[in-house]
Amino acid sequence: MKSTFIVENIEQALLPEQWIMLASLSMNDLNWQHTIINNHQIVGRTKVGMFTTGEQVSFTVHENSGTIESASMQWNPFSGKRNQKNIQVLQEYMRLNRKIYSPEQLSELFRSYFSHNKANYSDHIVLTKGNFIGTYSLIAINVLVFIAMVASGVSFTEPNVMDIYHWGGNIRIYTLGGEWWRVITSNFVHIGFVHLFLNMYALFFVGRYLEPIINKWLMIILYLCTGIFASLVSIWWTGSRISAGASGAIFGLYGTFIALLTTNLIDSRIRFALLQSFLIFVVYSLFSGMQPGIDNAAHLGGLLSGALFGYCFYAMQSLWRPFVITGIVVMFCTLSLATFYLVTHRTYKAQMIELLSRFSDYESKALNVRKGRAFKSVNVRIAEMNNIAAPSWHACSLIVDSVDKLPLDTLLSKQKINLMRQYIKARIEENKLMIDADKNNRANTDALDSVRAIIHDQLTTIEALRY
């Protein structure tokens, strides 16, 4: 919301720069952080806190008039009254200061201001109010995905692991197994409404500051690229746990903005208060993320990559079309690293898939000899168990040993490998008991029942560990 007041027929005895300095002195008295853009415009900001962005107040001198505008940087039910109050109080202080300072004093102060601020305002960026199309587009996509999830039957408050998996959650064994797109989709999938709401508020908060600096397209590119980095760090650090949510990408945007706040791209009278506020928020969020169930690895991955991209953007300011060049550099670095990581790790994963496929073939071959046992002679049954089943189970045992040697500790857990070993051992014991039963024409029923109970329990446990 914005309020505007036009000062008609301003005092002709004052030059434009004298009016601007008069507004600057008044904003100083009000403890408003501000920056003189040129000799016709000044932009200030009221108090900034962790949960409030304050209002942006500008004073612009025209040929025969001046315009005071106050605009809220975020929605607030009282923003209209606060904007009007800002305009009124600035007018009052300007009237008081007009009685104190002469035109000559104002001109001298204006010249002194720029002599102490060697960098012209064109070297800085001021945080201005805009349309925030990039921020609102990202929020809309996240909300629409959640609505689609709920419409398909996913729980509004507590989606289960399989729901998150089917909608594109990031889980190492599948992401590295060829489903690379999960490093992107997981940044738009949320685990319940509260998760969505908190992330979207954080995205809205940082977007209102960052997007006016980097523009809508770079905002979207940074969200996607830092989200990819966050997903890669997550599967590298957390292993087989499934993760989802926009927080990694949002931390990336916070990292970018914090990086820019440490440069002179944003005027010092604005950036120090904002830097303090954003650092407190990020540190608090990281400490809160240490509790179980929160993917802090993704948060750190997004934060660090975002900071790197922020400094990259700052370094590109002197180049032709810095927004375009930064976008290209960011996408190239992200895609190169992501491709390298996914391809190199997929080599091990492909080996594992091939070995497990062979395991399944040998297992089926060993179990198929049991079909039609009642119609086979004893000698045929013994021959098949000795010449087909026994070698097949032995081959399965060797395959499990081969899988265990791959660097896949988090892709296929040690627990599951040990269970598979026990399963093969039980199958080999079962095969021996069946051969003895055929040879002696008498089955050791108790021993067979005991072994088969073990096999059943192991299969059930292995299936439970599937995800």
What's the structural domain count of the chain?
3
Q: Does residue 358 lie in a domain region?
A: no
**CATH number for the domain harbouring residue 222:** 1.20.1540.10
Final residue of a structural domain among 101, 123, 145: 123
Same domain, 78 and 173: no
Note the pLDDT of residue 213: 81
Answer yes or no: are the C-beta atoms of 299 and 289 closer than 8 Å: yes
Q: Does residue 360 lie in a domain region?
A: no
Note the pLDDT of residue 114: 65
Note the pLDDT of residue 350: 61
Final residue of a structural domain among 100, 123, 146: 123
CA distance 185 to 227: 9
Q: Does residue 352 lie in a domain region?
A: no
Same domain, 154 and 303: yes
Note the pLDDT of residue 121: 40
Same domain, 182 and 276: yes
CA neighbor of 213 nearest in space, from 247, 263, 250: 263
User: Which position among 124, 190, 299, 345 bears the catalytic label?
Assistant: 299
Q: Does residue 356 lie in a domain region?
A: no
Note the pLDDT of residue 38: 75
Q: Does residue 314 lie in a domain region?
A: yes
User: Which position among 247, 285, 305, 392 bears the catalytic label?
Assistant: 247
- Is residue 299 flagged as an active site residue? yes
Note the pLDDT of residue 256: 92
DSSP string, 170-222: B-HHHHTTT-TTHHHHGGG--SSHHHHHHHHHHHHHHHHHHHHHH-HHHHHHH
Note the pLDDT of residue 109: 85
**CATH number for the domain harbouring residue 33:** 3.30.310.80
Q: Does residue 362 lie in a domain region?
A: no
CA distance 254 to 45: 20
Token pair of 395, please?
Answer: 């081959």
Q: Does residue 363 lie in a domain region?
A: no
Same domain, 141 and 73: no
Q: Does residue 67 lie in a domain region?
A: yes
| Beta carbons within 8 Å of 15's beta carbon, 6+ residues apart | 39, 103, 107
For tokens 């009221």, name the residue: 46
Same domain, 147 and 176: yes
Same domain, 174 and 317: yes
CA distance 35 to 41: 9
- Is residue 231 flagged as an active site residue? no
Range of the domain at 116: 2-123
Answer yes or no: are the C-beta atoms of 55 and 73 closer than 8 Å: yes
Which amino acid would we find at residue 391? P
Same domain, 376 and 454: yes
Between the alpha carbon of residue 414 and those of residues 238, 399, 410, 421, the distances in Å are 15, 14, 8, 11
Same domain, 24 and 116: yes
Same domain, 446 and 413: yes
Final residue of a structural domain among 343, 359, 381: 343
Same domain, 323 and 373: no
Same domain, 157 and 256: yes
How would you write the pLDDT of the chain (467 residues) with one tens digit per residue?
Answer: 555 555 554 556 688 888 888 988 998 888 887 777 777 888 887 865 444 556 788 888 887 778 888 877 555 666 678 888 888 899 899 989 888 888 888 888 888 776 655 444 434 455 555 568 899 999 999 999 999 999 999 999 888 888 888 898 888 777 776 788 888 999 999 999 999 999 999 999 898 888 888 888 889 999 999 999 888 888 888 766 788 999 999 999 999 999 988 887 776 666 777 788 888 888 888 887 777 778 788 899 899 899 988 888 887 765 656 667 777 888 888 877 777 776 666 556 666 777 787 888 888 998 898 888 878 888 888 898 899 988 888 888 888 888 877 765 544 567 778 888 888 898 898 888 888 888 887 767 788 888 888 888 878 777 665 54
Answer positive or negative: Cα dihedral of 430, 436, 437, 439. positive
Note the pLDDT of residue 467: 43
Same domain, 201 and 329: yes
Answer positive or negative: Cα dihedral of 376, 380, 386, 387. negative
